[in-house]
Amino acid sequence: MSKGAFAVPISQMAGCVQASATLAAAAKAKQLKTEGIHVYDFSLGEPDFLTPEHICRAAFKAMQDGFTHYTPASGIPELRAAIARTYQKLYGLRCGPDQIIVSNGAKHSISTALATVVGPGDEVIIPTPYWVSYSDLVLMTGATPVLVPTSLESGFKMSPAQLREALTPRSRLLMINSPSNPTGTVYLRQELEALADVILDTNVTVLSDEIYERLVFGDARTTCFATLRPGLAERTLTISGVSKSYAMTGWRMGWTIGPAHVVKAMGNVQSQQTGCPSSISQYAALEALEGVQECVEKMRREFEARRDLVCKRLADLPGVRCRVPEGAFYAFFNIEAHFGRAFAGKKVTDSASFCQVALESAHVNLVPGSAFGAEGYVRLSFAASREQINGGLDQLEKLLVT
Ligand code: PLP
């Protein structure tokens, strides 16, 4: 081999990971924007609001006060105590600080939780459509994702019978996400209780991703899975954070609540991987949880108004079927009626080609359902102003009506 021709081999773990599809779509839209084209961008999963000012001020004060150094690997005791108080107040969940670990965003919480409780040979049950990162994060541990398809007709909800059917002697974990990204589905309390009853007869742990817990609309209510039945908290890892509720995606603050021995092991993993979560962001998260809460309701109300607007506009589009999302900030709609059609000479055959046509011909950026394990659908994020929503849906309407 000639000098310099060496290619560093990629590990098995890194080789099984795909680039995040939502970020790839954002990159495509960015390119059009640099060409001076206005793109109606409905691809990103983050609130378009500024982080509330009192939270930013708390972060600045933390810096001025010198809280700019390493913290305990699992997070500062004040924040963990504030998280415990929040769960007690909102859901009646009793947990001590030794049952809480703070991480660099909920994605990091999920990654650390998975690395701590599953490995090669284990199966992880994931209802689809699922959030893009779930299956890749599972694959990175060497475990196997077992995907359970749900449909628009079933409200994108997994039934107890489906869960029972997916269980094998190798099942170790169930991942559940309500309110859901990408569908906006919020399970009813009794539906989660029925799933919990199946789980309680097994040796399966539950990872309940409740990151959109504060963003529910109409009569929908958030359920904290760990509180549903006696004994469930001992086998549930509750994941959440401040990213979506407080418009703090860039601060990278998430947490896990679970059995003390799991949290301790997660702390060991985290201490080796990242040292600790950002000190400044932890003080910001503390203010988010303990400070005034009006900002949360203000943003929730705006998301609800946008949800209504998006659903009304989608109902008028030909060949589109959408279920009204009860939470989060996504509409996940079926576009299979357009498969086989050609737009500006480009044939639509699947959700990816539909999104490509929507972006290139209508300058509307959506994410293909295939990224969420659900072909035939696309996801529209309504974390965008009502003006942008109307403009983008005008464009989409023009495209689909032709
Ligand atoms: N879980 C779900 C379902 C999400 O949609 C996201 C972000 O899009 C996350 C977790 C990660 O949140 P964070 O930004 O706190 O890492």
d(CA 107, CA 177): 13
Give the contacts of 357 (CB within 8 A, at least 6 positions apart).
343, 344, 346, 348, 399
Q: Is the CB of 107 under 6 A from ligand 1?
A: yes
User: Do both 281 and 365 map to the same domain?
Assistant: no
User: Do both 252 and 210 map to the same domain?
Assistant: yes
pLDDT band at residue 261 under the 50/70/90 scheme: very high
Q: Is the CB of 181 under 6 A from ligand 1?
A: yes
User: Do both 350 and 222 map to the same domain?
Assistant: no
- Within a domain: residue 7? no
pTM greater than 0.85 (yes/no): yes
Give the contacts of 164 (CB within 8 A, at least 6 positions apart).
198
- Within a domain: residue 337? yes
- Within a domain: residue 123? yes
Q: Is the CB of 238 under 6 A from ligand 1?
A: no
User: Do both 339 and 190 map to the same domain?
Assistant: no
- Within a domain: residue 6? no
Q: Closest ligand 1 atom, CA of 109?
A: 16
Question: Among 236, 266, 290, which residue terminates a domain?
Answer: 290
- Within a domain: residue 77? yes
User: Do both 65 and 166 map to the same domain?
Assistant: yes
Ligand 1 pocket: which of 46, 107, 255 to mutate (most atoms <8 Å of CB)?
A: 107
Instruction: Take atom 8 of ligand 1 and give the residue whose Cα is closest.
Output: 45
Percent of the chain having pLDDT more than 70? 98
User: Do both 116 and 231 map to the same domain?
Assistant: yes
User: Do both 84 and 228 map to the same domain?
Assistant: yes
> Degrees (nearest 5) of the Cα angle 98, 290, 294?
140
Cα 350 to ligand 1 centroid, rounded to whole Å: 26
Q: Is the CB of 106 under 6 A from ligand 1?
A: yes
Residue 384 belongs to a domain with what CATH number? 3.90.1150.10
User: Do both 84 and 177 map to the same domain?
Assistant: yes
Range of the domain at 359: 12-50+295-400
Cα 10 to ligand 1 centroid, rounded to whole Å: 27
Ligand 1 pocket: which of 244, 330, 372 to mutate (most atoms <8 Å of CB)?
A: 244
Instruction: Take atom 5 of ligand 1 and give the residue whose Cα is closest.
Output: 181
- Within a domain: residue 219? yes
Asked if residue 20 has pLDDT above 80, the reply is: no
User: Do both 214 and 266 map to the same domain?
Assistant: yes
pLDDT band at residue 23 under the 50/70/90 scheme: low
Question: Among 259, 290, 321, which residue terminates a domain?
Answer: 290
User: Do both 276 and 379 map to the same domain?
Assistant: no
Looking at the structure of the chain, the number of domains it has is 2
Ligand 1 pocket: which of 210, 242, 243, 382 to mutate (most atoms <8 Å of CB)?
A: 243
Question: Among 273, 290, 307, which residue terminates a domain?
Answer: 290
Measured in degrees and rounded to the nearest 5, phi and psi for residue 24 equal: -65, -40
Give residue-wise pLDDT tens across range 58-103.
999 999 999 999 999 999 999 999 999 999 999 999 999 999 999 9
User: Do both 237 and 312 map to the same domain?
Assistant: no
Instruction: Check residue 119 and give its pLDDT.
Output: 97
Give residue-wise pLDDT tens across range 221-232.
999 999 999 999
User: Do both 299 and 219 map to the same domain?
Assistant: no
Residue 150 belongs to a domain with what CATH number? 3.40.640.10
Instruction: Take atom 3 of ligand 1 and give the residue whose Cα is closest.
Output: 181
Cα 107 to ligand 1 centroid, rounded to whole Å: 5
Q: Is the CB of 109 under 6 A from ligand 1?
A: no
Give the contacts of 223 (CB within 8 A, at least 6 positions apart).
178, 187, 189, 192
Asked if residue 21 has pLDDT above 90, the reply is: no
Asked if residue 120 has pLDDT above 90, the reply is: yes
Q: Which of 75, 97, 99 is nearest to 236 (CA)?
A: 99
Mean pLDDT is lowest, of 20-24, 210-214, 265-269, 373-377, for 20-24
Average pLDDT for residues 43-49, to the nearest whole number?
A: 90
pLDDT band at residue 22 under the 50/70/90 scheme: low
Average pLDDT for residues 326-355, to the nearest whole number?
A: 96
Q: Is the CB of 191 under 6 A from ligand 1?
A: no
